[in-house]
Amino acid sequence: MLPTLVLASSSPWRREILDKLGLPYRTKHPEIDETPLPGETAAALVSRLAEEKARAVSTGFKDALIIGSDQVAVLDGNIIGKPGTHERAVEQLRAASGRTLTFLTGLCLLNAATGKVQVDVVPYHVHFRTLSDTLIERYLQHEQPYNCAGSFRSEQAGIVLFERLEGDDPNTLVGLPLIRLVRMLEAEGVEPF
């Protein structure tokens, strides 16, 4: 019998990615503090938060497999968050122009019944074109990606900003490394479809 699968997220983008596997699942928003710890690296942060998200929802699902995921964008070793405003998005895209932004996605699969946990951090690199202020303004007016780390949506018009994308799984950039998740699920005896 297939265990209950729970996505510890309220992200519509993560749900859309998980839908690709054809497995029934539930969602629950995890209530956790996402503040980085002093001196915590970006990789350690997303790894910790992915696991904390899974554990936060596990109390309501004692026999479930729970998926936690967290993502940050990194430029020059600094975490780039969601811009929130147009002005901040302009700053982020100007800083990324002609450079590479690395997305680190923490992924956790927690077996709530056994306590077994699998955690990984999956990178994805976005190589930006040299961006003019005109292109930045046109893009931001069109898409308004103010709730997206790095100030773009790669799955939509943000693709015009890039020179190339580099990574093992394009789903990672959107927030859920599906190739890695399939391997984790298989280790728990769950096959897609």
Phi, psi of 72 (to 5 degrees): -135, 155
**Using only C-alpha atoms, what is the Rg of the chain?**
17
Beta bridge partners of 121: 106
Calpha distance 112→55 (Å, rounded): 8
Pairing relationship of beta strands 65-75 and 162-166 according to DSSP bridges? unpaired
Exactly one of 19, 33, 63, 70 is catalytic; name it: 70
Other beta carbons within 10 angstroms of residue 151's beta carbon come to 32
Instruction: Count the neighbouring beta carbons within 10 Å of the beta carbon of residue 99.
Output: 14
Kindly provide the residue ranges of all beta strands, DSSP E only, lying in 34-190, ordered along the sequence: 65-75, 78-80, 100-111, 117-128, 162-166
Burial 42-69 (b: 16+ CB within 10 A, else e): beebbbbbbbbbbbbbbeebeebbbbbb
Among 92, 97, 90, smallest CA distance to 78 is for: 92
Q: Is 70 part of the annotated catalytic residue set? A: yes
By annotation, the residues acting in catalysis are 70
